[in-house]
Amino acid sequence: MKKSMSSLDIAAWRAETLRLLEGSRVGNVYTAGNLIILKFKAQTHLRELVVEPGRRIHLTSRTLRSGKLGQAAMILRKYLRGRRLEGIEQPGFERIVYLEFQPGGYRLVVELLPRGVAALLDPEGRIVFATRYMEMRDRAIRRGERYVEPPAAALSPVEASPKQLLERVQAGRDLIRGLVRGAGWPPELAEEVLHRLGVDKSADPSALDQATAERIIEEARQVYVSSVESPEPTITVVEGRYEAVTPFKPSYLKGEYMSYSLFNEALDEYFHTAGEEPVEAVSPEEARLLRSMEDARRKAEEYLRRATELEEKANVLAANILEAEGLLECVSTVREREGWGAVEEKCPGIVSARPRQGVVVARLGEVEVELDVRRSAQDNLLQMYRRAGELRGKARKAEEALKDAERRLEEIRRRAVLRRLRARLAARPKEWFEKYHWLLSSEGILVLGGRNADQNESLVKKQLGPRDVFMHAEIHGAPAVVIKCGGREPGEETLREAATLAACYSKAWRSGIAALDVYWAWGEQVSKSPPPGEYISKGAFMVYGRRNYIRNVRLELALGLEIVDGCARVIVGPPSLVEKRTKIYVVLVPGDLKGKELVEKIKKLLARKAGKLADIVEALPDEEIESRLPGPSRVLR
């Protein structure tokens, strides 16, 4: 499992964070254990930067701070509070970050290497404060001394030459270790590059030729550039545990992929969940099951081993049954005449005797077989096969106990996964528009619909601009729908998609109507002012001027789930829109199924379509789906 940010992570994080924070001022500084938290006055929901030397640096949506103001927080507040973040730098391809603040030219340097530190530097590069002070072979971290970076170790995939790579990889016992230890590449970068190229990672580095080295560098450059310029932030989950967080979707890792819109969000989720404690703390019940599984597994293996050994000896006895019968007769005769002490000497083939048990050990061919002197050779043979069968029966029971324990353990872990997913869903910051009925049109335009008269009133008063579009179904009891144009003129596709929202959430759905007309007008045509002598109720409006109609809008609504920040979020719209954004969806039309029965059927179908992401569907509260249903429905597909 990945423990800290890599040099590739830093490069991708730097590009994204500059865009989000550049020019923002530090509002305050806090500490929590070994964490430093810088709170910025930024135009983003991610306003706090968490710094953990040797491990991570990223923006967070969580509140991480201790009640007591420590020395680190006081010193950093003195020098950084109120200053602007003017730059973020990464020297070469190293795991070091410089945050530059103005005015004043102070810099906060963060080392994400093992035993790394965070240090505040004055304009001349001298250390004002460090999270810890130490003296090393090649440098010292001391107050008042000039800060010296650790020796450069990584070969940048952007600047590397094939010759340099060929030299560096010789430091590893195989190619993958040559890239990681010799070239200083992050394991995920080395693994991804070799996997994409189909190059054997266990190959001898000395066998690497110029052409392959060029291919490796070129592929590494592509991974680097795409991670920085167009990242695909991904957390890879393997067997229910977070395995890695990367700015690209890793093809070398097999598991479930959770995609994020921002790399900072992925880093925040990963390092928060995969923190100092294991992702899955083992419960007492799970520990008991693991112990019983190990005991059952050991017993099954032992029983099978003994059964197999006994059957092999029985097979030897069967092949030498006459010889065994002769030995038993010899033992019986000698025992009666001279006693047990003479058996080994007088009966060739008898290795040893155990008088108290009435057993002798006979060598038949190359195998030693125990024989009961009170039984015939044939009875000994039958007894051995019977005992082998009993041992195999015990092994089967132990295996059944093991499978039963595995099923129970799987259920315990599944419940733990659901608890984590539900907690993550509860913590997910919701967008402001999610309190309404909403959709994002094919053109990327936000469409909002009121859930009740109060929301209808709020939408028109607070969200409807003069050049936004107001939409309403041609029926009493329909939501006010607003298309937030943002200076754009919506196309025919957006208008029809918004019309689906207006029609489906109207009373027409509960009436079982198949299609409905919907009209739209510009926001400047809508008013709360009635004609003289008339009254307009809450949630109702006057539309003056021309109305534009969209005829025969079908009452057919797709309800789907998109994965946001590792959680399922409900989206709705016409099927043609929803299927562009997710494969996990159902299509509804007016019908008779309602309430819990309808929600259960929808979740069951969605879970089936979700495949490996079924747990995320199951973790979604029923209320999330129920709140987006227009009424009693029939699931079309």
**pLDDT tens, residue by residue, 523-569:** 898 887 777 767 777 767 888 889 999 999 999 999 998 877 667 78
Position 261 scores a pLDDT of 87
Instruction: Using alpha carbons, list the distances in angstroms from residue 402 to 266, 283, 299, 405, 579.
Output: 37, 19, 10, 5, 43
Dist CA 634 CA 632 (whole Å): 7
Say what the pLDDT of residue 502 is: 93
Res 412: pLDDT: 78
Kindly indicate the confidence band of residue 171, based on its pLDDT and cuts at 50, 70 and 90: confident
Question: What is the mean predicted confidence (pLDDT) over 78-86?
Answer: 92
- Cα–Cα distance, 204 to 176 (Å, whole number): 9
H/E stretch holding 235 reads strand 234-238
Name the token pair of 122: 């004055």
Of 375, 395, 416, 387, nearest to 286 by C-alpha is: 416
Nearest to 250, CA basis, from 242, 307, 289: 242
Position 424 scores a pLDDT of 66
- Predicted confidence at residue 377, as pLDDT, reads 94
* Residue bearing tokens 């969806």: 585
pLDDT for 427: 60
What integer pLDDT is reported at residue 413 of this predicted model?
A: 73
Reported as a single tens digit per residue, the pLDDT across 374-426 is 999 999 999 999 999 999 999 999 999 888 888 888 787 777 777 767 666 66
17 falls in which pLDDT band (50, 70, 90)?
Answer: very high
Share of the chain above pLDDT 70, in %: 93
Other Cβ atoms less than 10 A from the Cβ of 456: the count is 23
* Predicted local distance difference test score (pLDDT) of residue 62: 72
Q: Buried (b) or exposed (e) across 337-370, using 16+ Cβ within 10 A?
A: eeebeebbeebebbeebeeeeeebebebeeeebb
- Name the one residue in this structure whose structure tokens are 């994409």: 196
In this model, does residue 631 exceed pLDDT 70? yes
Percent of the chain with pLDDT over 90: 51
Q: How far apart are CA 494 and CA 483, in angstroms?
A: 9
Residues with Cβ within 8 Å of 76's Cβ and at least 6 positions away in sequence, in order, are: 29, 36, 38, 108, 120, 129
276 pLDDT higher than 60: no
Q: Is the pLDDT of residue 469 over 90?
A: yes
The structure's pTM equals 0.47
Model confidence at 191: pLDDT above 90: yes
pLDDT-based confidence at 280, cuts 50/70/90?
Answer: very low
Q: Which two tokens stand for residue 125?
A: 């590069």
Query: Is residue 592 within a helix (H) or strand (E), and if so which, with residue range?
Result: strand 585-593
